[in-house]
A and B are shown apart, each in its own frame.
Chain A
Amino acid sequence: MHDTFEVFVEYGPLLLEGLYETVLLTLAGALCAFMAAMVLHAAAASPWRPLRAVVRLYTELILGLPILVLLYCIYFAGPGFGLRLSAVASGLLTLTLYYSPYMAEAIRAAVAAIPSGQIEAGQTVGMGPFAVARRIVLPQAGALALPALVGLLIGLAKDTAILSIVSVKELSYMTKQVVSRSFMPFEVWAGVALIYWVCLSTLDLAMRRLERHLTRHRRLAP
């Protein structure tokens, strides 16, 4: 027990460096995936049929594919297609490609939940499509989509650990380095699991408070 503590003191800075990288990857991955999801959402509503078919096919493909296989496809098979990416870029592309269809579905469900009468009413009073989106759809759909998006964000944060397999230098990768130097695999991995747990629980809690904040109008209504 004492030895374990010493290992974490000695290699603390290394793990902290990895944790910082994990946080950055999570933020960047979530941002890219969310933007890609907006594009997918717009493309799925396109009047042009082939584009809609492509989006459907892509979504089906991703839903059936494990994320690790997608990562390997990009990292190992990518160069064969002339796609030579660094480990970090492969990782970010994987997170983006994998999570965007799920996020697009969360966005679609939230937008579909807004009564069409509200949008028609907005148009009737002379609002343009952007005003309708900004004033009627977004404020409500944002709050509606949030629980599902938070679930996906936490899933994405957890899946950054997989990127250590292609040697992205995040927390799990640094843990492997510590294990190879300290020869205490079980204790070190268990300790790192605890670090993940504290960080992810905090993220979950913070997001739930944000959600309460965004939906406060529903509780304040008489």
Chain B
Amino acid sequence: MFRGELFLEAVGPIAGAAIVTAELTVAAGLIGLAAGALAAMAQIGGGWGGALAGRVYVSLMRGTPLYVQLLVVYFGLAFAGLSSQAFLAAALAIGLNSGAYCAEILRAGILAIPPGQIEAAQAIGMGRLRIWQRVVLPQAFIASLPPLTAELTIVLKSTPLASVVAVTEITYTGVLIQSRNYSAIEVFAVVALAYIAMAQVLLRGSRALERRFRPFRA
């Protein structure tokens, strides 16, 4: 029932597709971190307009399926004249979705900073942007590192949705191979192993990152 040669045949193409999955994870992760930082800053230091915008963004992203968000972004890009930008659409949709969760994580990290530090920065004449950049964000980022890396694992686990708009990442490659030679069992075994291996790499990497930044933690 399990044909070893079909299993081995699938390893090469799926290893190649793993690079696309890795690129998508990194791109979406970075977009998510940037969007999350902006939303958290807007909610805390953006007046009532910023707070409202930040809350609407988080609510919309958390209150709709990522699958639907991806299609809205994909067809939205096409609507704006950028048709067939599957990778861009997937990175944007997964990134903006993750950004809502990053915003909640970073907000907690920002609110945990002692107000005395900000007052001290003001007292020595730092401007608002400089305080964000030098005092608040670096510390909030380091304090939030464990939940942020957990969020990156969720991003990795969201990337198979990109197969819906035909990004040739791991899952889509697997679907294509198995539709060609009816090797669903063997191919999806490789696909599942690929994700488990990548999640492990991410886990090890994030532990190393946390160790690296531990000396800077308050």
What residues of chain A have their CB less than 8 Å away from a CB belonging to chain B? Answer: 61, 63-69, 72-73, 76-77, 79-81, 154, 158-162, 164-165, 172, 175, 185-186, 189-190, 192-193, 196-197, 200-201, 204
Query: Are B174 and A197 in contact, CB atoms less than 8 angstroms apart?
Result: no
Q: Is B66 an interface residue (CB 8 A)?
A: yes
Q: A76-B184, A77-B188 are in contact. Are A196 and B75 (CB under 8 A)?
A: no
Q: Is B166 an interface residue (CB 8 A)?
A: no
Q: 6 smallest A-B Cβ distances: which pairs?
A: A161-B65, A76-B184, A186-B75, A185-B75, A158-B65, A68-B160
Q: Which of B1, B69, B171 contacts A69 (CB 8 A)?
A: B171
For B67, the closest partner residue in chain A by CB is: A161
For B76, the closest partner residue in chain A by CB is: A186
- Contacts A64-B200, A172-B67 known; 12 new A-B pairs at CB < 8 A: A63-B199, A68-B163, A68-B171, A162-B65, A162-B67, A175-B68, A186-B76, A186-B78, A193-B60, A193-B64, A193-B69, A200-B63
Q: State the majority secondary structure of interface residues on A.
A: helix
Most buried by A among B68, B79, B164, B199: B68
Q: State the majority secondary structure of interface residues on B.
A: helix
Q: A66-B157, A73-B192, A165-B164 are in contact. Are A81 and B60 (CB under 8 A)?
A: no
Considering the chains assembled together, what is the distance between the CA atoms of A172 and B72 in angstroms?
Answer: 12
Query: Are A66 and B158 in contact, CB atoms less than 8 angstroms apart?
Result: yes
**Nearest Cβ in chain B — how far from A49, in angstroms?**
24
What residues of chain B have their CB less than 8 Å away from a CB belonging to chain A? Answer: 1, 59-60, 62-69, 71-72, 75-76, 78-79, 156-161, 163-164, 171, 174-175, 178, 184-185, 188-189, 191-192, 195-196, 199-200
Considering the chains assembled together, what is the distance between the CA atoms of A201 and B76 in angstroms?
Answer: 23
Most buried by A among B65, B72, B185, B189: B65
**Nearest Cβ in chain A — how far from B181, in angstroms?**
12
Considering the chains assembled together, what is the distance between the CA atoms of A61 and B197 in angstroms?
Answer: 11
Considering the chains assembled together, what is the distance between the CA atoms of A158 and B188 in angstroms?
Answer: 24
Q: A66-B157, A81-B185 are in contact. Are A189 and B63 (CB under 8 A)?
A: no
Query: Are A69 and B78 in contact, CB atoms less than 8 angstroms apart?
Result: no
Considering the chains assembled together, what is the distance between the CA atoms of A66 and B175 in angstroms?
Answer: 15
Complex A-B: 7 CB contacts under 8 Å: A66-B156, A67-B157, A158-B64, A161-B67, A164-B67, A175-B68, A193-B72
